[in-house]
Amino acid sequence: MSAVIVDAHHHLWHLGGGYDWLDAPELAPIRRTFAPGQLRAELAAAGVSRTVLVEGGRCDADEAAVLLEHAKATPEIAAVVAWADPADPDLAATLAGYAELDGGGHLRGIRAQVQAEDVGYLDRDDVRAGLARIGAAGLVFDLVVRAEQLPSAGRAAAALPGVRFVLDHLGKPRVRAGAEGLAEWCELVAGLAACPNVSAKLSGLVTEADWAAWEVDDLRPYVEEALALFGPDRLMYGSDWPVCTLAASYAEVIDTLDGLIGRDDRAAVFGGTATAVYGLGSGTAGIEPGPESMGPDQTQLDLPRRNRWH
């Protein structure tokens, strides 16, 4: 069967639609609208068949309707991770409302901007109650956290074994800091990686490195350590497009990772893990912990080595 490559993390946004974080001076290159047509051109050139569209930091429920409409109208977008506040007393109603939206069947996960919260945010009882509610709704919770928040994320995942967590961008390690950043990240992520209900995205690393001068060898130790800590069946490729374009093109990102992943692991990382975790092609995300829900379908995914750039 033909290979199915999944990009498990990208964004779309309309400039002026509430994405105030784009006002930062250094983000001028991506301070513009990124629409489905632009995405599809990148996917076609890279041979990517399916994607997971992730909330873009707007932090309001109205964005979910836009993202779900994009998913309904764009064949490649197989799943949406929308924003919601885990501590919101009305969270259950918000999730039910999302499911009723046009395209609501594409909803597979929830993400909150935990990276903007204090270090102990995920230790709060109200937040954990919300995370449990998200899991009970059959949804994944995407963790976008700072490196120093990784231990609290590990405690939350251990306390909620029935909730499927996905760590975005490997927890934003300090790639720019070289060996010091790597050692720090390995120590901080260990507890989270030990939880079988946690998967991670090999995404966003180029923008944690030096945007103008990063090299493949800056990323290599993180990929190697992630494979050792999580294993390929709990790792998935994500472009983080268009944010990645601050440091690299879409093709550079996927081809760099391809050069760092061995042939035996490629099927899981480039499709199988995301397909299982987000329930792509089914009605619900794969939230039950255990190897049965995390292993790739090796018969469908046999990604050849690309090496167009690296």
Nearest to 170 by CA among 261, 254, 253, 238: 238
Supply the pLDDT for residue 13.
98
Peptide bond into 242 cis (omega under 30): yes
Domains observed in the chain:
6-294 (3.20.20.140)
Q: State the Cα–Cα distance between residues 274 and 233, nearest whole angstrom.
A: 9
Q: Give CA torsion, residues 164, 264, 260, 276, to 10 deg.
A: -20
Distant-in-sequence, close-in-space partners of 48: CB < 8 Å, separation ≥ 6: 5, 6, 7, 42, 76, 254
Torsion sign over Cα 191, 196, 199, 205: positive
* CA–CA distance, 26 with 30 (Å, rounded to integer): 9
In angstroms, the CA 99 to CA 23 distance is 32
| pTM recorded for the entire structure | 0.90
How far is it, in rounded angstroms, from Cα 12 to Cα 69?
A: 12
Tokens of 38: 């632009």
Cα 202 from Cα 222, distance rounded (Å): 9
Return the number of other C-beta atoms located less than 10 Å from residue 307's C-beta.
9
Per-residue pLDDT of the chain (310 residues; tens, 9 = 90+): 237 999 999 999 999 889 999 999 999 999 999 999 999 999 999 999 999 999 999 999 999 999 999 999 999 999 999 999 999 999 999 999 999 999 999 999 999 999 999 999 999 999 999 999 999 999 999 999 999 999 999 999 999 999 999 999 999 999 999 999 999 999 999 999 999 999 999 999 999 999 999 999 999 999 999 999 999 999 999 999 999 999 999 999 999 999 999 999 999 999 999 999 999 975 556 444 333 333 333 333 333 333 322 2
Q: How much is the pLDDT for 281? A: 73
